[in-house]
Amino acid sequence: MALLVRYITTSRVAQKTLGIRMQSTAPRLVNEDRGALGQDEEFRVLNLRQVKNQRAARRKAIRPDVPPPRSQQMATDQDWGAVWPGPRTFHPASVPLPLRQGYATKKNQMAPGKFANAELMKIPNFLHLTPPVIKRQCEALKQFCTPWPKGLETEEKMRRHFPLTCITADYCHALPTIRNPLSRIVTVQLQLEALQLDRHAKDKLLRLVGERYDAESDLLTIVTDRCPLKKQNYDYAIYLLTALYHESNVVEPWEATKSEADMEYYDFERNRSKKNAEATLNWGRKEGDPDWVACPSEFADAVTRLFNDGENEYNLDKYKEQSLALLGLSAPAVVPQ
């Protein structure tokens, strides 16, 4: 009501229009309120400074009794497999070893100790794979294993019975996906003598595989990486090996009509050198006689190596030695100079 009265009194236009004079009662009400407030109490002063005498009582912190590290209470003959039974992050209080890992910030300073050491915690450890624990686990798994097959006691016997070797790789890395493109690659290795191929099939197989065959180790290597999965690449490698084996044993009709000039390599059995050597050994005899002498295999190997591998000092000396032996002559003595 006071606001309405003040508004009406301040408006001269309203007073003239109404033809009356109105007096505001607001100042009188304010003075009455101030008097009543002074009679009751004074204003309190806000003190922002700290008063030493008005400190609040602090609660006493209760600290539990922390026992010493477990490593200091371990016995020397304690079962370590019970302390560290499986893979876990490094815990310094459980390992009774003075381990140190990290970078020394100052010269002639030792590496940080094992307590509060992030370097020891972030690397994998193999404390759960100690020799006694491995032996105990093997003894526990032995009851589920079958006896070792007889006849596979040595590596040579195993390679003879299982000549095929499959090589794959698995990768462990910190990425959003556990897949690695390199894990799909499959390598299959095989000793060529295990296929038991004849001369024609072996020659044809070597021409098909090209550089995948190592003559020194007699090892055939097939690498497959075309398929997205490892199992698919393994099946593809086995398919290639099977196709190579069967294709090598196929004899085309035109292969029987090949002449000496059409041969890709020197064949002593189909060459004139064999006939000349046998004619020299059997001078005056006819083929089929009881005393007919065949050409020695050493001479055949020397001639074949000379034509197929090329002329070098070793092949020439070997050919000379076998030629003298074929004619029944002795090598001339070397006179030192």
What's the half-sphere exposure (Cβ side, CA atoms, 13 Å) at 268? Answer: 18
326 SS3 class: helix
Give the mean model confidence (pLDDT) for residues 319-325. Answer: 86
Taking all residues of the chain, what is their mean pLDDT, rounded to a whole number?
82
Sign of torsion over alpha carbons 41, 46, 50, 54:
positive
Residues 14-40 pLDDT 10s:
454 445 455 544 444 445 555 555 555
Domains and CATH numbers, the chain: 2-37 (no CATH), 87-145 (no CATH), 155-252 (3.30.160.20), 266-327 (no CATH)
User: What pLDDT score does 29 carry?
Assistant: 44
* Strands, E assignment, the chain: 165-167, 186-191, 213-214, 219-224
Residues 82-130 pLDDT 10s:
999 999 999 999 999 999 999 888 888 899 999 999 999 988 899 999 9
Look at the chain and count its residues. 337
Local confidence band at 183 (pLDDT 50, 70, 90 cut-offs): very high
Sign of torsion over alpha carbons 301, 304, 307, 309:
negative
For residues 325 and 298, is the Cβ–Cβ distance under 8 A? yes
Mapping DSSP onto H, E and C, the string for 8-43 reads HHHCHHHHHHHCCCCCCCHHHHHHHHHHHHHHHCCC
